[in-house]
Chains A and B, each alone.
Chain A
Amino acid sequence: MSTWRSLCANVRTLRVLLTFRRVAPDPRRPCGLVASRRSLSTGTPLRNDFFKDLEAKLAATRKKARDALPGSAWSPLHINPNLPPERTDIVIVGGGVVGWAVAYWLKKKEGIRGGLKVVVVEKDTTYSRASTVLSAGGIRQQFSLLENISLSMASADFLRNINEHLGVLNEDPVDVQFNQAGYLLLASDKAAHIMEDNYHTQRAAGAQVSLLSPTQLKETFPWMNTEDVALASYGVENEGWFDPWTLLNALRRKAISMGVVQCCGEVTGFKYSSNEVMTEDGQRLELRRIKSVQVQMPNSLEFQPVECAVAVNAAGAFSAKLAHMLGAGLGPEDTLAGIPIPVEPRKRFIYVFHCPDGPGLDTPFLVDQSGVYFRREGFGGNYIAGRSPDQGEEPDVANLDVDHQFFQDKIWPELAHRVPAFEKLKVTSAWAGYYDYNTLDQNGIVGTHPLVSNMYFATGFSGHGLQHSPAVGRAVAELILDGGFSTVDLSRLGFRRIADREPVLERNIV
């Protein structure tokens, strides 16, 4: 349409130029007869545009001839080119960092070129509400659960060798802007023994962490107020923060270069086959198997059923809605079918503030014992802070509006108490994002559902999805293609604990 308009514009300007030339007065003729020189034709002068259009016309003719030959993709029925393919091997629902990590690792492990067909379905390619890009971007090994520590360490290894993994021939090298500043977790008297236990677990797993007493803390960070700190745990290596958007795009670029198909659409339903079985104690179970995934195009009623062998639920904060479509959690209360996926979106705020006299280059990602955290952002005296709200004061998740009063009431006093220089600060910006919050134990769910044999879950990370994503992607790819975990054993993070309602708790969470 725009080329036609520009063509018309060209034609019009040409006509104007040509008529202007003809109107130029001839000195031999009397003045009164000048007007008769003007052309009376109002049609387009064909001759002068002919050669300009020739190139375009020849190209169009060539294209028509090519389409008419067999082997071309032309068909008389107009098909929406954005539809996903009709059948594929694996559909990954959710185009965040976990989804693309799974896609990348699946393609990496496929064995032969083109051996696996993978489609990633993402409903919002602007990522305006995705947890990945709204994250603070930190990575730490200071967890109490061995699985979490191993996942973080594997992800740090991945980030260190990111160009070996995600480098594409002829493209710029990937630079996630990793700040090697470490995490600093503070503990009061009551929690000091927990921190020591965690420290031993972390050291045993190979994480480079060190414990600091209040005096050592004051020496290392003179800007900190260490009054009520009993113990601090400081990450020396492989901890810091990075740019999640770069990681997402690098994973996406590499996966697409390996042949993963990206589809912009929303999954609105599944077609599944059911099989009823009777357990030993007489309970009737309905085992479902996904046959196809219904993908609806954005802003349209058009949908495409994508036949697949395996579906991966990496939808983050919206995973429960997806599992609902399969009937998970809709059965009677005491049965296996009645247990819902315990993942729900929780809104968390991040505030950016500027403080001219704040801590400098070595500012770690500090997590206070009250739950307030902050880190440096850039080198101009800007910092990012946030806090998990208390139980019962969860903000409304219908939208991503920021509650600025929360900073004034809950965050600023703690910040000013911990870092006296932060008494003078100015909030410049803020945003909100969703945690895919696992209400049972705030740890990820990785594995298949007991009643839906070909749906794999990789969700519920409650704020740690980004830092675990490369390792989780590899674990899920191993689970799908090899049938079991080989690099990091995540069997404790499977569905069994959800079904048995036995939480696998982490002893400190932000």
Chain B
Amino acid sequence: MSAPLVSLLGCCQRSSRLLVARRPWSSSPVSSPPMHTRLLLFLTQRFYDVEMLLRWKSRMKRRGLQKKNAYYSYTQGLYGADIAAAYYVLCLRGGFRFVGQSEWFRVDRKGKFKWDFLSYKDTPLEEADMSYTIINYIGLSNLEGQKSLRTLSLRGCSEVDDWFLARLHVFQDSLKDLDISHCPRITTGGLAALRNLKGLRRLDVSALPGISTPGLVIILLEEMLPHCEVIASGYDHSLEPEGVDEERSQG
């Protein structure tokens, strides 16, 4: 009885932990977070239990992500690599199209899909639409064997980062169309990894929040991939920064 009480009332003994955990909100450019977040953080700095619960929550979330992106070795063993890849795409709520077929296999709003794709044995995927899914670096191992993948759409994927782009080199011979717009985690260092995709003809890098100087980076990308059409919309290419305009009007 006393032990839970003690733990509930326990304060963080090490002041260094507090100093690190406490974040001065005034230094962040974003406005101060909502009330419940601030309350949670206040409690985390004072109670071990709350800290543990928050850490569990993030760990569970990460574990769920890894589980969804795990290597589908069982399916591969039973049905072959192509069906396993197709199944993986559908499980992540994406869509795909087989080589030589014209119909797309997609998921409906509730996440259910038809099992017709099982009848196409040993047919590799030609186009995969993984937009707004949680595909990540580990999940790409399910698609690695697809040597005929021509189109890959990763629009708005929140887990696609620079390392994912580096791993795309497995599709260097076949990939012709890549869409990585609206991915929040991609930075300019990762765009350098696209140098391996020599067959790329169309690249969509619109509205990437992680790029700081979009104009320059787009020019460098176009130089790096001379045969590729680079589409980059959604960037503000205006020459004057906002602050300078205000000063000019006042002065």
Contact = CB atoms under 8 A, between A and B. Distances in A.
A238 B193 CA distance: 10
A169 B44 contact: yes
B221 A170 contact: no
A321 to B, nearest CB: 30
Looking at chain A's contact residues, the main secondary structure is: loop
Given A179-B189, A361-B191, A361-B223, A160 B20 contact: no
B195 interface: yes
A433 to B, nearest CB: 23
Interface in B145-165: 162-163, 165
Interface size class of B (residues with CB under 8 A): 35 or more
A463 to B, nearest CB: 22
A361 B221 contact: yes
Nearest to B20: A257
Interface string A163-197: 01000111100010111110000000000000000
A257 B20 CA distance: 6
B113 interface: no
Contacts of B8: none
Contact of A361 (B162, B163, B195): B195
A360 B220 contact: yes
Interface string B206-235: 000000010011001101100000000000
A238 B187 contact: no
B192 A181 contact: yes
Contacts of A238: 163, 166
A178 B187 CA distance: 9
Contact of A171 (B23, B137, B163, B190): B23
A192 B234 CA distance: 48
A97 to B, nearest CB: 19
Given A170-B23, A237-B166, A379-B217, A259 B17 contact: yes
B109 interface: no
Interface size class of A (residues with CB under 8 A): 20 to 34
B107 interface: no
A218 to B, nearest CB: 14
A175 B189 CA distance: 11
Given A179-B189, A259-B14, A361 B224 contact: yes
Interface string B35-71: 0000001001000000100110000001000000000
Interface in A196-228: 208, 220
A482 interface: no
Given A236-B196, A256-B16, A361-B224, A177 B187 contact: yes
A160 B161 CA distance: 9
B20 A180 contact: no
Interface string B4-43: 0000000000101100111100000000000000000100
B200 to A, nearest CB: 13
Given A177-B187, A178-B189, A237-B166, A257 B195 contact: no
Contacts of B176: none
A345 interface: no
Q: Which of B22, B23, B166, B213 has the most CB of A within 10 A?
A: B166
Given A170-B23, A240-B192, 7 more contacts: A169-B41, A175-B187, A178-B163, A253-B20, A259-B14, A361-B217, A379-B220
30 contacts: A160-B163, A169-B41, A169-B44, A169-B51, A169-B54, A170-B22, A171-B20, A175-B187, A177-B189, A178-B163, A179-B189, A179-B192, A180-B162, A180-B163, A180-B166, A180-B189, A180-B192, A208-B169, A236-B169, A237-B169, A240-B192, A256-B20, A257-B16, A257-B20, A257-B21, A360-B223, A360-B224, A361-B220, A361-B221, A379-B220
Interface of B: 14, 16-17, 20-23, 41, 44, 51, 54-55, 62, 137, 162-163, 165-167, 169, 187-193, 195-196, 198, 213, 216-217, 220-221, 223-224
Interface of A: 160, 164, 168-171, 175, 177-181, 208, 220, 236-238, 240, 253, 256-257, 259, 261, 360-362, 379
Which 9 pairs of residues, A with B, have the shortest CB-CB distance? A362-B195, A180-B193, A179-B189, A361-B220, A180-B166, A257-B20, A181-B192, A361-B224, A160-B163
